[in-house]
Amino acid sequence: MSIMLVYVLILLIGGYGYLQEKYKMLKQIYLYRVIRSKYKMKKRVLAILLASAVLMISGCGRDTIPDRETSSGNKESVTSSSESNIEYESMPLYHQDEESTNYQIMNTTWENQLVEYTGDYIEENFQIVTSPKGEEFTLFVYIDGVRTPYYSSEDEEVKDYQLFRTTDDKLMKDISIYFKPVEGKKGETYNLDVVLVNNPEYMLKDTSWLSFLPFLTSNSICVKQLKYEYEDKLMEMSDNYDVYELDKRMEEMFDDPDGTNSLDEEENVWFDYCTEPFDGHSFPPVGYFSVNKNDTLDFYIPILGNDSEYVFSVYINNELVPAFDGKEYLDVKVKRDKYIERKVSIPVDKYSGLNKIYVVAVSKGRNYVYKGWTCLLEVK
């Protein structure tokens, strides 16, 4: 089979997923504009959801918030924390000097939708086409929200993620990855997701431009079920977060023109980054944090959506951070009639200069992976 024919087949197979991602992005741009008009924001900002995500990055401010119910069921009154030590700014659009990269992916082991793990390495094979050629990308492997290390046909060292690149004279790349689950209970079935992130090492040159787009966007390239048939290895996750009654004004922000509400979509989740607890009035977006080296990076993750369960994780420079009570993952049970909020505090003494930070949410019920907007983090 000629390389051109293979390329055409990949385009046809990947085209539907590509259109889905574009639809999600356009829908979120529209949703943001509706929110902005309803609350009459004075600053002209734009929040763009990344491919396969329903996300916007927010900074909020207020003095008090309503009674809350913790994840353990206890209710208490909450006041906002003292003045934040973090500076933040709103997000601009795509950088006009950067060219977007198109990816077409074919999982060549797609016919095996149920993978069984019995102790040996699991193998997944991909053919990836990039345009333009010579583009860098990485693959993240998630099993029920837990990032799973792997080795590949190009690098036999097991790592959390590896870097790949198509060559200048060849736009197609064949990749095989091999991995073992880092947790699981014998007899249980989990979601297996492989996510491609483009140009993961890209870093902004300075703070004159705050958007990482069109880089560090994500695309799910493998969605399967994994049957765990090996010795139990269970990972402890945090389940500590605050739960509030969903305010009607907040719910109306997700109304669609056809009379439906985006929060009603199956397994849908929406989350932001806020520098203060949400005040029920506005979502001014944030794309930049500035923190002193001896301070901590403090922000909130507000979460809304339909009834579902998601695992959240935080990354700085693509490295997993123990951001939740010293644990790397937060297990959240999302409820349609509730608003959830979780404060995150991360020491930044190990970082310096410009860094990138983002949040990932992975569904435990369906093969959905949402990667949040990539923010610039400056440590002084």
CATH code, 240: 2.60.40.10
Predicted structure pTM score: 0.77
Q: From 331, 263, 324, 276, select the one nearest 302 (Cα to Cα).
A: 276
Q: How far is CA 266 from CA 111, 226, 254, 263, 350, in A?
A: 25, 22, 14, 8, 40
Give, as one character, the DSSP assignment of residue 80. P
d(CA 104, CA 329): 30
Asked if the structure places residue 115 within a domain, the reply is yes
Cβ–Cβ < 8 Å for 52, 37: no
Do 348 and 284 reside in the same domain of the chain? yes
Q: Is there a contact between 103 and 130 (Cβ–Cβ < 8 Å)? A: yes
* 337 in a structural domain: yes
Q: Max CA-CA distance within the chain?
A: 67
Show Cβ contacts of residue 61 under 8 Å, excluding neighbours closer than 6 positions. 80, 275, 276, 279
Segment holding 70, helix H or strand E: strand 64-70
240 plus 364 within the same structural domain: yes
- Per DSSP bridges, beta strands 136-143 and 163-165 are antiparallel
List CB contacts of 198: < 8 A, sequence separation 6 or more: 101, 103, 135, 136, 137, 214, 215, 216, 217, 219
SS3 4: helix
pLDDT in tens, 176-204: 999 999 999 999 999 999 999 999 999 99
pLDDT at res. 376: 94
For residues 106 and 201, state if they share a domain.
yes
Please give the DSSP secondary-structure letter assigned to residue 99. -
Domain stops at, among 228, 260, 292? 228
pLDDT at 335 (0 to 100): 95
Are 223 and 108 within one domain? yes
Together in a domain, 254 and 193: no
Check the CA dihedral 258-259-265-270 and report its sign: positive
Looking at residue 89, its amino acid is E
Cα 136 to Cα 128, 205, 357, distances in angstroms? 11, 18, 19
Lookup: tokens for 51 = 């491919």
Query: How far apart (Å, rounded) are the C-alpha atoms in residues 159 and 162?
Result: 7
Query: Among candidates 295, 283, 249, which has minimal Cα distance to 87?
Result: 295
Which residue is listed with tokens 């959830």? 340
Surface-to-core class of residue 79, CB atoms within 10 Å of its CB (0-12 exposed, 13-18 middle, 19+ buried): exposed
Question: What is the residue range of 128's domain?
Answer: 102-228
Q: Is residue 153 part of a domain?
A: yes
Q: Are residues 191 and 86 in the same domain?
A: no
d(CA 98, CA 209): 12
Question: For the chain, how many structural domains are there in total?
Answer: 2
Last residue of a domain, one of 228, 254, 275: 228
CB neighbourhood size of 22 (10 A): 11
Last residue of a domain, one of 205, 228, 251: 228
Are 106 and 223 part of one and the same domain? yes
Domain assignment present for residue 165? The answer is yes
Task: Please check whether residues 147 and 219 belong to one and the same domain.
Answer: yes
Are 328 and 292 within one domain? yes
Both tokens of residue 149?
Answer: 């290390």
Give the C-alpha distances (Å, rounded to integers) separating 159 from 9, 31, 142, 156, 228: 31, 38, 13, 9, 22
Q: Is residue 2 part of a domain?
A: no
224 and 243 together in one domain: no
Query: 128: domain CATH number?
Result: 2.60.40.2550
In a domain, 3, yes or no: no
Q: Is residue 9 part of a domain?
A: no
221 with 250, same domain?
no
Q: What does each C-alpha distance from 358 to 47, 149, 320 come to in angstroms? A: 14, 19, 10
Is 244 part of any domain? yes
Let me know whether 66 and 127 are in one domain: no
pLDDT tens digit at each of 380 positions of the chain? 444 454 444 444 444 443 444 444 444 434 433 333 333 222 222 232 333 333 332 333 323 333 445 554 443 333 233 334 444 444 444 444 555 567 677 777 666 789 999 999 999 999 998 877 678 899 999 999 999 999 999 999 999 999 998 877 777 889 999 999 999 999 999 999 999 999 999 999 999 888 898 899 998 899 999 999 999 999 999 999 999 998 888 888 889 999 999 999 887 899 988 888 876 665 555 778 999 999 999 999 999 999 999 999 999 999 999 999 999 999 999 999 999 999 999 999 999 999 999 999 999 988 889 999 899 999 99
First to last CA, the chain: 55
Written as six digits, the tokens of 215 are 């880089």
